[in-house]
Structure 1
Amino acid sequence: MGNSAGATIAYYAGLRAAAEVEDLEPLQIRGLILRQAFFGGIQRTGSELRLANDPVIPLCVIDLLWELALPIGADRDHEYANPTAGNGSKTLDKMGALGWRVMVSGCKGDPLVDREIAEAKLMTERGVQVVCDIEEEGHHEIEYAQPSKAKELTGVIKDFISQ
């Protein structure tokens, strides 16, 4: 599980674990929880354009963070930033075959939400069981600012884990 950049790390750690699952025994991973994953890409999404001047995480900050994080010369369609580039990782098929469940959680007031939804769609197409929790209201990392949202998120996560 991870939130924001932590969700991105959890996603890529999950891909690596799925690829090497035999080497992890007796550990059994059953899925991932991705909360407001920090994904990027060259082509702007509707939510990025609509929320370009977001007070929590404006587009200029998103772009700067990717510029600092990616290898020199790489753009935001690099595999580390854009998990949907090139139809995604081949390991998604293995995640699906392993029966992993992935919860994708976010808010429509987050500039990154369209990328989260696109990744959820791609995972579903590749056979991964995806549960989407996309709230109509809220912003990036709202659960840190509003305790009631943190409590709601905790309930959603508990429900996901217990299923």
Structure 2
Amino acid sequence: MSNPSPVTDPYAYLNIVKNPDGSITRDLTNFPCASATPDPSPLNPVVSKDIPVNQSKSTWIRLYLPTTALDGGAPSQKLPLVVYYHGGGFILCSVDLQLFHDFCSNMARDLNAIVASPSYRLAPEHRLPAAYDDGAEALEWIKNSGEDWIRSHADFSNVFLMGTSAGGNLAYNVGLRSAESVADLSPLQIRGLILHHPFFGGEERCGSEIRLVNDQVCPPIVTDVFWDLCLPVGVDRDHEYSNPTVGDGSEELEKIGRLRWKVMVIGGERDPMVDRQRDVAKLMKKKGVEVVELFTDGDVHGAEIGDPSKRHALFSSIGNFISTSL
């Protein structure tokens, strides 16, 4: 059987067209969406609902709650809160994408946790740090929210920031900001970051990018386009947003270490970014952060998003991480 042809046209691969005004036209036909499911039923182990965050930015949040929490569970039994940012290279996808909806529903069920998945503005129409601003604003919204599910069921002393791919990069950078403003987030207490196949880059190709140059899921030629469209105009891939290892790292990382937040870095050996993920984990350790690494053989970028059979093992590992982070 012959090897698949390498990706040569990243714009065609992503089904996007770059417009003269700098925006892009996205073909969304390959991204089916799912509605929230707010009504509890025996066939629905997790309920979900959508709530506006900032109407001027059209940002919103989807909340997921295990149905058992509504079935007479002890009101005093608060659940961990996982704030989950979706992936898509900062230019594609949305909170209600069927794959992310199912992933978050499974996570809320398996972890017995509340999952809050905020939307954020996409590039190139809104280049970084717009997504970081929206990710941080979502934490402010949660902190101040009188929303019943959050008020009644969320344990504000047990909060984790998590994301997949670009969402992992977002969780990392919102985490850096949050370490600077811990007092402002009170009573929210972040216990750790869960970086699932986080999206990092750099000008010089790393070993795994060279080795997996013809990857069919997220090859370097595609991630180059992501960075070109999402980074601030005029900077390259060694900007701190994409490559945290340039220089000696940030003071905020040292603060994360002093705050005793734990960080879980999850990756797959078949992901061209795996060496970058290891390098960021190494940097965090150097700065005094306690890091748990979970790198699995044979897994491509974002494996558990596309393959539901891999989720149970992932959430088991994340559940253990959460339980040992208090």
The aligned residue for residue 76 of structure 1 is 237
Correspondence 1:101 to 2:282: no
Q: Deviations over 1:51-74 (max 9, x none)?
A: 111100111101010000111111
Q: Which has the higher strand share?
A: 2
Q: What's the TM-score once normalised by structure 2's chain length?
A: 0.49
Distance in structure 2 (CA, Å) of the matches to 1:146 and 1:47: 22
Q: Percent identity?
A: 54
- Identify the residue that residue 200 of structure 2 maps to in structure 1: 39
Note the C-alpha offset of 1:78: 0.5
Residue 24 (1) aligns with residue 185 (2): yes
Is residue 57 of structure 1 aligned with residue 223 of structure 2? no
> Unaligned stretches of 5+ in structure 2?
1-161
The residue type equivalent to 1:88 in the other structure is: G
Deviations 1:33-92 (A, max 9, x none): 000100001121110001111100111101010000111111000011111111211100
Runs of 4 or more, structure 1, over 3 Å off, are none
- Tell me the distance in 1 between the aligned counterparts of 2:308 and 2:228: 32
Q: Counterpart amino acid of 1:86?
A: G
How many aligned residue pairs are there? 163
CA distance in 2, matches of 1:151, 1:97: 32
1:77-156 map, 5 Å = 77-156=238-317
- Give how far 1:22 is off: 1.6
Question: Which blocks of at least 5 consecutive residues in structure 1 are unaligned?
Answer: none
Structure with bigger helix share is: 1
Which protein has greater RCO, CA pairs closer than 8 Å, 6+ apart? 1
Cα distance in 1, alignment partners of residues 272 and 312 from structure 2:
23
Write the distance in 2 (CA, Å) between the matches of 1:80 and 1:142: 23
| Structure 1 vs Structure 2 CA RMSD | 0.8
Task: Output the amino acid matched with 1:11.
Answer: Y
- Offset, 1:26: 1.6
CA distance in 2 between partners of 1:161 and 1:51 (Å): 32
Q: Which amino acid aligns with 1:80?
A: Y
Task: Measure, in 2, the Cα distance between the counterparts of 1:108 and 1:17.
Answer: 30
